[in-house]
Amino acid sequence: MILAVCLNPALDLTYEVPALAPGTSHRVQRVHERPGGKACNTARVLGRLSVEVTLCGFAGGARGARFRSALAATSVKDRLTVIDGETRQSVAVVDGGGVTVLNEPGPSLVQRDWDALLADVDSELDGARVAVLSGSVPPGAPEDAWAQLVRHCRRRGVPSVLDTAGPQLLAALDEQPAVAAPNHHEAGGALGTTLEEPDEILAAAVELSARSRGAVVVSAGSDGLVAARGERRWRVRPPRVVEGNPTGAGDALTAALAWGLAEERELPDILADAVCLAASAVVLPTAGEVDLATYRELRHTCEVEELR
């Protein structure tokens, strides 16, 4: 089983409108609803790959109930910790021109919420081969929330895949996650800089990897990814440019990393999977979904370049 931990899940709503015009009123033509948040999206991708997956995290209030009922319609096992706060919502307004996203901040946690989550995660780690630790942190969570969770995983011998940002990312790297997978904005943010050139992105991966003593994979959108572990470095580009909606591509990439670790495959093989699964998420409009035909087609010709 792969354990996904989503500290700030969201009930994701998609509103279809003909054209979003600021300052006016709109009749929403269609509403779609699904369980979201980064680790939850990753869990749904893993479910799509027929991997057994369990979701830990916080759920509360009427929206938490809706989140759980939407989650029950997927193959992801629900081990969410119930809190008094109300699960947040995100609204994605889709018109012909693009996607406009409004993310609520999330409920405020209290200490007993956090203690209950750690206990729930601990009980699930017994059966876990890999843990996915991904996404933002709600108000009131400890400043080292992800660091604590990486440490819990390491002590139980469960390799973790970490995807978060800012000070939470830096603190968690010190606890040695097996793989950290920030995108280039997040990697640059953690290092206090902006990464633009391929060499800068690679240097950031090397620097973060020296800190975590594990693999660091930095994604750069349609340019693919670079990775560093110990003395080795790799670059993987998608075999072709894929058009679509990049929302959720990072969550599919994380899913591939966790999947490969759980199957104990070699890192270069896992990296090729990661690029192709991310591209197969771009094809579909909603986060947490992947087009397996695109994945298979790209995977056939995807090459991993080891940098010397």
Nearest approach in angstroms of CB 57 to a second copy is: 18
Give the per-residue SS3 of 120-152.
HHHHHHCCCCEEEEECCCCCCCCCCHHHHHHHH
Phi, psi (rounded to 5 degrees) for 25:
-100, 145
Q: Based on CB atoms, which residue is closest to a second copy, 75 or 103?
A: 103
Nearest approach in angstroms of CB 288 to a second copy is: 16
Nearest approach in angstroms of CB 187 to a second copy is: 19
Nearest approach in angstroms of CB 217 to a second copy is: 22
Cα–Cα distance measured from residue 14 to residue 167, given in angstroms and rounded to the nearest whole number: 31
Nearest approach in angstroms of CB 294 to a second copy is: 24
**3-state secondary structure at position 296:** helix
Q: Based on CB atoms, which residue is closest to a second copy, 65 or 82?
A: 65
- Say which residues have a Cβ less than 8 Å from residue 142's Cβ, sequence separation at least 6: 114, 148
Residue keyed to tokens 């979003």: 20
Cα–Cα distance measured from residue 217 to residue 224, given in angstroms and rounded to the nearest whole number: 10
Length of the chain: 308
Q: Based on CB atoms, which residue is closest to a second copy, 31 or 110?
A: 31
Q: Based on CB atoms, which residue is closest to a second copy, 68 or 77?
A: 68
Query: Do 247 and 99 meet the contact criterion of CB atoms below 8 Å apart?
Result: yes
Q: Would you state the structure tokens that stand for residue 81, as one six-digit string?
A: 């910790």
Q: Based on CB atoms, which residue is closest to a second copy, 33 or 200?
A: 33
Q: Would you state the structure tokens that stand for residue 193, as one six-digit string?
A: 């800089």
Q: Based on CB atoms, which residue is closest to a second copy, 35 or 47?
A: 35
Footprint on this chain of a second copy (rule: CB under 8 A): 15, 17, 20-29, 31, 61-63, 65-66, 91, 93, 95, 97-105
Q: Based on CB atoms, which residue is closest to a second copy, 95 or 297?
A: 95
Residue keyed to tokens 């792969």: 2
- Say which residues have a Cβ less than 8 Å from residue 282's Cβ, sequence separation at least 6: 242, 243, 244, 245, 246, 249
Query: Do 155 and 144 meet the contact criterion of CB atoms below 8 Å apart?
Result: no
Nearest approach in angstroms of CB 98 to a second copy is: 4
Nearest approach in angstroms of CB 33 to a second copy is: 9
